Chains A and B, each alone.
Chain A
Amino acid sequence: MANDHGSHASPDHAHEHPTWKQYKWVALILTVITAFEVWAYYVPALVASPFFVPMLLIMSAAKFVIVVMFYMHLKYDNRLFKALFTGPLIIAMATLIGLLFLLATHKAEGGIG
Chain B
Amino acid sequence: MATVAASPTYTDSAGSHRTGIMDWLTTVDHKKIGTLYLHTALFFFLVGGVEAVIMRAQLMGPNGTLVSAEVFNQLFTMHGTTMVFLVIMPLSAAFFNFLIPLQIGARDVAFPRLNAFSYWVYLFGGLFITIPIFFNAAPDGGWFAYTPLTGREYSPGQNLNFWVLGIQILGISSLAAAFNFATTIINMRAPGMTLMRMPMFTWMSFVVQWLIILAFPVITIALFFMQFDRFFGTNFYAVSAGADPLLWQHLFWIFGHPEVYILILPAFGLVSEVLPTYSRKPLFGYAVVAYSGILIGFLGFGVWAHHMFAVGMGPIADTVFGVTTMLIAIPTGVKIFNWIFTMWGGSIRFTTAMKFAIALIAMFTIGGISGITHAAPPSDMQQTDTYYIVAHFHYVLYGGAIMGIFAGLYHYFPKWYGRKMDERLGTWHFWLNFIAFNLTFFPMHFAGMLGMPRRIYTYDAGQGWELFNRLSSYGAFLMAPAFLIFLWNFFRSKTRGEVAGDNPWDAATLEWSIPSPPPEYNFAQIPMVTSRYPLWDITHPERMAGIPHSAEGWDDAKQRTGEHVTSGGKHEADVAPMHIESERRSAKELGIPMPNPTIKPLWVAAGILVLFSSLPVMYAGKNMIAFAMMAIGGSMFVGFLYAWLTTPMEDAH
CA distance A103 to B244 in the complex (A): 8
Do B244 and A88 have beta carbons less than 8 Å apart? no
A91-B301, A95-B301 given as contacts; is B647 within 8 A of A2 (CB)? Answer: yes
Q: Does B13 contact A (CB under 8 A)?
A: no
Do A4 and B111 have beta carbons less than 8 Å apart? yes
Residues of A within 8 A of B114 (CB): 4
A103-B244, A110-B242 given as contacts; is B112 within 8 A of A4 (CB)? Answer: yes
Do B646 and A2 have beta carbons less than 8 Å apart? yes
CB-defined interface of B160-202 with A at 8 Å, one 1/0 digit per residue?
A: 0000000000000000000000000010000000000000000
A108-B244, A110-B242, A111-B242 given as contacts; is B301 within 8 A of A6 (CB)? Answer: no
Residues of A within 8 A of B648 (CB): 2
Of the listed residues A95, A101, A111, the one surrounded by the most CB atoms of chain B closer than 10 A to its CB is: A95
Q: Does B649 contact A (CB under 8 A)?
A: yes
* Contact among B113, B213, B242, B250 for A102, CB-based, below 8 A: B250
Q: Does A57 contact B (CB under 8 A)?
A: no
Of the listed residues A4, A6, A99, A103, the one surrounded by the most CB atoms of chain B closer than 10 A to its CB is: A4
Q: Does B287 contact A (CB under 8 A)?
A: no
Residues of A within 8 A of B254 (CB): 95, 99
Do A1 and B242 have beta carbons less than 8 Å apart? no
Do B653 and A2 have beta carbons less than 8 Å apart? yes
CB-defined interface of A22-50 with B at 8 Å, one 1/0 digit per residue?
A: 00000000000000000000000000000
Number of B residues near A (Cβ < 8 Å) is 26
Q: How large is the interface on A (under 10, 10 to 19, 20 to 34, 35 or more residues)?
A: 20 to 34
A4-B113, A95-B254 given as contacts; is B649 within 8 A of A103 (CB)? Answer: no
CB-defined interface of A56-95 with B at 8 Å, one 1/0 digit per residue?
A: 0000000000000000000000001000000010011011
CA distance A103 to B246 in the complex (A): 8
Residues of A within 8 A of B186 (CB): 80
Do A88 and B213 have beta carbons less than 8 Å apart? yes
A88-B214, A103-B247 given as contacts; is B242 within 8 A of A3 (CB)? Answer: no
Q: Does B645 contact A (CB under 8 A)?
A: yes
Q: Does A5 contact B (CB under 8 A)?
A: yes
Contacts across chains A and B counted by CB atoms under 8 Å: 47
**A1-21 residues at the B interface, CB under 8 angstroms:** 1-6
Residues of A within 8 A of B214 (CB): 88, 91-92
Do A102 and B313 have beta carbons less than 8 Å apart? yes
Residues of B within 8 A of A80 (CB): 186
Do A2 and B313 have beta carbons less than 8 Å apart? no
Do A102 and B110 have beta carbons less than 8 Å apart? no
Q: Taking chain A's interface residues, is the majority helix, strand, or loop, or is none over half, making it mixed?
A: helix
Do A94 and B301 have beta carbons less than 8 Å apart? yes
Q: Does B317 contact A (CB under 8 A)?
A: yes
Q: Does B263 contact A (CB under 8 A)?
A: no
CA distance A103 to B254 in the complex (A): 14
Residues of B within 8 A of A98 (CB): 302
Do A5 and B647 have beta carbons less than 8 Å apart? no
CA distance A88 to B182 in the complex (A): 14
CA distance A80 to B647 in the complex (A): 30
Q: Does B305 contact A (CB under 8 A)?
A: yes
Do A1 and B110 have beta carbons less than 8 Å apart? no
CA distance A99 to B313 in the complex (A): 12
Do B301 and A1 have beta carbons less than 8 Å apart? no
Do A5 and B110 have beta carbons less than 8 Å apart? yes
The residue of chain B having its C-beta at the shortest distance from the C-beta of A11 within the complex is: B559
The residue of chain B having its C-beta at the shortest distance from the C-beta of A92 within the complex is: B214
Residues of A within 8 A of B110 (CB): 4-5
Residues of A within 8 A of B250 (CB): 99, 102-103
Residues of A within 8 A of B301 (CB): 91, 94-95
* Contact among B218, B246, B247, B649 for A3, CB-based, below 8 A: B649
CA distance A40 to B180 in the complex (A): 45
Nearest Cβ on chain B to A79's Cβ, whole angstroms: 13
Residues of B within 8 A of A101 (CB): 317
Residues of B within 8 A of A111 (CB): 242
Do B645 and A1 have beta carbons less than 8 Å apart? yes
Residues of A within 8 A of B244 (CB): 103, 108
Residues of A within 8 A of B247 (CB): 103
Residues of B within 8 A of A95 (CB): 218, 254, 301
Residues of B within 8 A of A88 (CB): 213-214
Among all A-B residue pairs, the 9 with the closest Cβ atoms: A2-B648, A108-B242, A4-B111, A4-B649, A91-B301, A111-B242, A91-B214, A88-B214, A2-B647
Given contacts A94-B302, A102-B317, A103-B247, 20 further A-B contacts (CB under 8 A): A1-B646, A2-B645, A2-B647, A3-B649, A4-B114, A5-B110, A5-B111, A91-B214, A91-B301, A94-B301, A95-B254, A95-B301, A99-B250, A101-B317, A102-B250, A102-B313, A103-B246, A103-B250, A108-B244, A110-B242
